[in-house]
Amino acid sequence: MPNRSWRVVGAVVLLLVGSVAAIGPFVVEVESTTPEPAPFDDTVSMGLPLSEEYGLEERVALPKAQVFYSQYEYVVGYYGIDTYVDTSREAGHSQQFGYPLAVYVTDYSTVDVELTEEGYPAVAERGEPGWVDAERAWYVHDSEAATPRGNAILPFSDRVDAEAFADARGGTVLAWTDLLEAEFDRAEATVVRDRVDDHRADGDRRVAAAADLRDRPVSTVVGEDADTIQGAIDDAPANTTVRIPAGEYEERLEIDRPLTLVGDGNVTIDGGGNGSVITTTANRTALIDLEITDSGTVQQGSGELPGFDPQEDGDDEEWDATFERNYAGGDAGIAAHSATDSLIENVTIDSEITGIVLRRSGESVVRNVTVHSPEMWEDGHAAILAFRSPIVVENSTVYDGRDAVYSHRSPGLVVRDNYFEGNRLGVHLMHTSDSLVADNRLRNQSNTGIYVMTGPERNAVVGNDISNADYALFPSGSDSYIADNVLTDSRVGLRVDATGTIYERNVVAGNEIGAQTRSMLPTNRVTRNDFVENDVHADAGTGPLRIWTDDGVGNYWQGATALDTAGRDGSVMERSYSPTDPVDRRLHRVDGAETLSRAPALDALEGLQGTVPGMRTGSVVDLAPTCEPNNPDLLERTEWADRAWSCDRTQPTSYGET
């Protein structure tokens, strides 16, 4: 349990349907003594994904801040002094956390600090750095020091130490007040939003580069120049095409140099139930116009994989190397190992375990592929598995798999314009940052439509249409961009558990729970979304007040339009709305809730909840709900468009007659 060395006492508001208790002022009593610094591992921390934290050398000591807030019961830890300074500037920060009672920063005056080859600060002889009051520290800004996220700001309790470090490693020494005014170059969610088009264009570039593999000259024809496909592969010169006439071939193939295999008509390659059907260890391999069936049924690999060298490849973590051997070494329809810049196109696979494995095969393209996975997902792995392979997967279809697309440590992955049905998980990203998941349709995933796990950063999940899952969309990590998705008919439409992430212009409709948040840090921007015909629009677990309004604009909530319609100009509501409030959450479901919502005592509560920090812990509040849906074109894709009423109790004009 995170350290709690202070206490917050608030007024208790007893809210009953039909009667409301008197509301008293919100009271904060802070202990007279200043809280002592907490062990950083006991804080609720942000600013560094788990994958990067676990990958650091033991002696690395990154700069950190820890903050005790007046209206937040946990100590908040920040990796990077700039992370705290930028976060404290965000709109709504003081409303959700209160003011800082104490701010401590890493004190490099207490250790002999040096820089690693990557520029990370590390301790030499004297152990972990101590802590110093932020206002008493001196900060070296814009030096050679770095963190995994960029430039590092190093605090020192002694100005002489700070100046000595700056003399040796560059940078400027700043006081705390000057640092609060400084600008930082940080990769935030707004950067991810701005580069979505660039990410799409990069996917186009990779697809165009792979297209050249279709045009290699034919050097060998099966049945004319060689009796078998493998014989033709063995005879073909590098960078040529092996043409396979229509027919059924029972073979297992191995490719060790850059070749294109293309089917001429209906070509089926049957692996005979033993091992992977096609294994390639060559860059720029192309497999086109083929049907692949009957691979082996071994789930976990044994022995070393082709091209696997943990020491050379930098796999310091033994568990990660073991996982790679086991998970990427099982039988597959196509197994590509260290085969970068490859193309798999117009291929159909009846998968026994995994359809396609691409391991350490970045810049490859999988397009127009269909994978039929085992009927029982427990019997298989992934239909398309990208392991340390930033690939493009597009225009493909997967049925009935454990995971339709699974990625592991594949930053820069692009998954777009696919159709996934009946899988356990549709898109499953592990330790994968800087990726684009766009414009996919997902139906009837038994667990989760799109699941982003293990603390990644800077992912864009945009334009997807997901229905009928336990969780439609569950992105974790930080500094990501979640937009323009349609999430319907699921137990939970949208999970809001990331940090520093933008959730905007999503349609969340017809779910049991529209949005569910369990994040302990309210650092997300949730705005311009539409919540329609969910049993419960939003649900919040233990934690601080979450304000889902940004720059004066909130979200559309079906039922919130009942709060106040007099004198309205048709744009923004005059009262805030809380989808977690016992009354507000029923406005779109229960007759009479609208009348209760106008009670004078609730007006007083509404006046407090938007201005007093911490007033609604465990709650979501929208300070400026919109009168009409923000995304009418997306909402029209659902069956719930006619349930979205405007503030004057008419439907938006885009939906036809009122």
- Note the pLDDT of residue 550: 87
**Per-residue pLDDT tens digits for 512-522:** 999 999 876 77
**Residue 471 vs residues 415, 441, 445: alpha-carbon distances, Å:** 19, 15, 9
| Neighbour-count burial of 42, counting CB atoms closer than 10 A to its CB (0-12 exposed, 13-18 middle, 19+ buried) | middle
Q: Is 66 a member of any domain? A: yes
Query: For the residues 118-143, what does the mean pLDDT come to?
Result: 90
The answer on pLDDT for 415 being more than 50 is yes
> Is the pLDDT score of 533 beyond 90?
yes
Q: What pLDDT does 573 receive? A: 54
Q: Which of 8-17, 305-314, 320-329, 464-473 has the highest mean pLDDT?
A: 464-473
Per the CB < 8 A criterion, the answer to whether 609 and 615 are in contact is yes
Region of poorest pLDDT, from 40-49, 171-180, 506-515, 545-554: 40-49
Average pLDDT, the chain: 84
Distance CA 327, CA 354 (A): 10
468 within a domain of the structure (yes/no): no
Domain end, chosen from 156, 186, 216, is at: 186
Q: How many other CB atoms are there within 10 angstroms of residue 526's CB atom? A: 26
CB 436 within 8 A of CB 454: no
Q: What is the pLDDT of residues 217-269, one digit of tens each?
A: 999 999 999 999 999 999 999 999 999 999 999 999 999 999 999 999 999 99
CA distances for 117 relative to 120, 297, 487, 545, angstroms: 7, 44, 45, 42
Question: Would you say residue 264 lies in a domain?
Answer: no
Residues β-bridged to residue 387: 359, 408
Whole-angstrom Cα distance, residue 547 to residue 532?
A: 19
| 459 within a domain of the structure (yes/no) | no
Out of 141, 166, 186, a domain closes at 186
Please give the share of the chain, as a percent, with pLDDT higher than 70.
81
The CA distance from 343 to 213, in Å, is 7
Residue 549, in any domain of the structure: yes
Work out how many domains the chain is built from and give that number: 2
Report pTM: 0.81
Specify the pLDDT at position 110. Answer: 93
Domain annotation covers residue 574 = yes
Query: 314 versus 352: which is more confidently predicted?
Result: 352
Number of helical H runs and strand E runs in the chain = 13, 50
What 3-state class would DSSP assign to 415? strand
Confirm whether 584 is domain-assigned.
yes
* In the predicted structure, residue 613 carries a pLDDT above the cut 60: no
pLDDT (average), residues 48-63: 73
From 33-47, 336-350, 554-568, 629-643, the region with the lowest mean pLDDT:
554-568
Among 132, 166, 186, the domain boundary falls at 186
The CA distance from 448 to 263, in Å, is 36
Residue 434 has a pLDDT of: 94
**Domain interval for residue 510:** 488-658
Q: For residue 236, is it within any domain?
A: no
